[in-house]
C-alpha cells in the first residue's frame, strides 16, 4: 500500500489494538453463551443442527420473497398486496 493510503503508524497500531480487544471480548461473550447453553442441557451437535436449519429456513424464505416479488411485478401490484391472497402475515 502507498504511504498515503495508510494511517500514521501510531494511529494504525492503536486501531489494531482496539480491534483485537473487541474481538477478545466477543470471543469471551460467545464462550460464556455456549457454556450457558451447555449448562441448560443443549449439546453442540444440537446447536449446530439448529443453526443449519435456520440457514435452510432463511434460504427458503428468500426464494419465496423473490417469487412474490416477481409475481407482484407481473401483476403490477406491491408484494405487500399479495400477502392476504396467500394468507401471509407481514411479519412472515
* Residue 53: closest CA among 61, 42, 65, 41: 61
- Residue 14 has a pLDDT of 86
Rounded Cα–Cα distance for residues 57 and 91 (Å): 15
State mean pLDDT over 32-60: 91
Taking the model in full, what pTM does it have?
0.54
Question: Please, are residues 72 and 79 in contact by the beta-carbon 8 Å criterion?
Answer: yes
- Residue 13 has a pLDDT of 83
For residue 78, name the pLDDT band (cuts at 50, 70, 90): very high
Is pLDDT of 22 > 70? yes
For residue 42, name the pLDDT band (cuts at 50, 70, 90): confident
Amino acid at each position: 500500500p502507498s504511504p498515503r493510503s495508510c494511517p500514521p503508524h501510531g494511529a494504525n497500531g492503536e486501531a489494531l489494538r482496539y480491534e483485537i480487544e473487541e474481538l477478545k471480548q466477543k470471543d469471551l461473550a460467545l464462550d460464556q453463551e455456549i457454556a450457558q447453553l451447555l449448562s441448560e442441557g443443549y449439546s453442540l451437535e444440537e446447536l449446530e443442527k439448529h443453526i443449519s436449519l435456520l440457514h435452510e429456513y432463511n434460504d427458503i424464505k428468500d426464494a419465496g420473497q423473490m417469487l412474490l416479488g416477481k409475481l407482484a411485478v407481473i401483476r403490477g401490484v406491491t408484494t405487500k398486496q399479495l400477502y392476504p391472497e396467500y394468507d401471509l402475515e407481514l411479519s412472515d
